[in-house]
């Protein structure tokens, strides 16, 4: 109430922690709508919902569809670990005793739920600010799992996140080339073709377009 009445229209999103049930966002949707109407705003503030518990994970698909305000679903590794009984003290850090990516299952579910409603899937923070390698490791795992970005809790982590989630110039150029080749094959009436030894089709085009979009957002190709 204080935010919308005092600064409505001058911020983009509200971050809502510990979303365990879609009813919480139903309440927020109606409250925001009433406040925006009262203030006379012609904008709708977005919502970034944090998934931080087993209950939140179970209800996530329904939660994501409650309102079109959802801008992102964000993983909260610390509270999630506590919720499901994983004994850890470091938040969002690599677990050396786990054979692989410890949070692969919940991250995959967040990616799917976010994609279903056109929202971003965002990875949570790494608590050890000084451990740059750990941050890069977890950010890379998140990116390769389909996540769109990662929370940073210190300015030093911003550069690392940008490096991980921004395509390299070579990847950007390859994606542009693939799109050109695909357009040519499509114009010839071919649904699939060969490019640099690989079969490319509509799925290839969509992957390349996403990579190009990310690259352009980071200033590549401008």
132-149 mean pLDDT:
97
- d(CA 170, CA 148) in angstroms, rounded, equals 20
Place of tokens 């994501």: 64
Among 171, 172, 150, residue whose Cα is nearest residue 161: 150
pLDDT tens column, 100-123: 999 999 999 999 999 999 999 999
pLDDT (0 to 100) of residue 222: 63
pLDDT tens column, 155-213: 999 999 999 999 999 999 999 999 998 888 888 777 778 888 888 888 899 999 999 98
Q: What's the helix, strand, coil split of the chain in %, to 5?
A: 50, 15, 35
Q: Percentage of the chain surpassing pLDDT 70?
A: 99
Q: Is 152 left (phi over 0), alpha (psi -120 to 50) or beta?
A: beta
Strands 70-75 and 120-123, bridge-based pairing: parallel
Neighbours of 82 (CB within 10 A): 15
pTM here is 0.88
128-138 mean pLDDT:
97
- d(CA 92, CA 135) in angstroms, rounded, equals 9
pLDDT (0 to 100) of residue 195: 81
């Amino acid at each position: 109430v204080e935010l919308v009445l005092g600064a409505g229209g001058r911020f983009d999103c509200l971050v809502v922690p510990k979303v365990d049930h879609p009813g919480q966002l139903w309440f927020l949707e109606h409250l925001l709508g009433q406040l925006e109407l009262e203030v006379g705003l012609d904008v709708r503030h977005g919502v970034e919902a944090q998934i931080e518990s087993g209950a939140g994970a179970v209800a996530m698909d329904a939660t994501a569809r409650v309102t079109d305000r959802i801008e992102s679903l964000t993983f909260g590794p610390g509270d999630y670990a506590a919720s499901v009984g994983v004994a850890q003290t470091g938040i969002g850090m690599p677990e050396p005793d786990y054979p692989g990516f410890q949070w692969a299952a919940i991250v995959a579910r967040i990616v799917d739920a976010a994609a279903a409603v056109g929202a971003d899937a965002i990875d949570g923070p790494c608590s050890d600010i000084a451990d740059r390698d750990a941050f890069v490791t977890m950010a890379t795992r998140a990116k390769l799992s389909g996540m769109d970005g990662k929370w940073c809790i210190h300015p030093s982590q911003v550069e690392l996140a940008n490096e991980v989630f921004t395509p390299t110039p070579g990847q950007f150029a390859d994606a542009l080339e693939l799109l050109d080749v695909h357009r040519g094959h499509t114009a010839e009436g071919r649904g699939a073709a060969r490019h640099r030894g690989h079969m490319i089709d509509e799925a290839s085009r969509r992957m390349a377009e996403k990579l190009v979009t990310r690259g352009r957002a980071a200033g590549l190709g401008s």
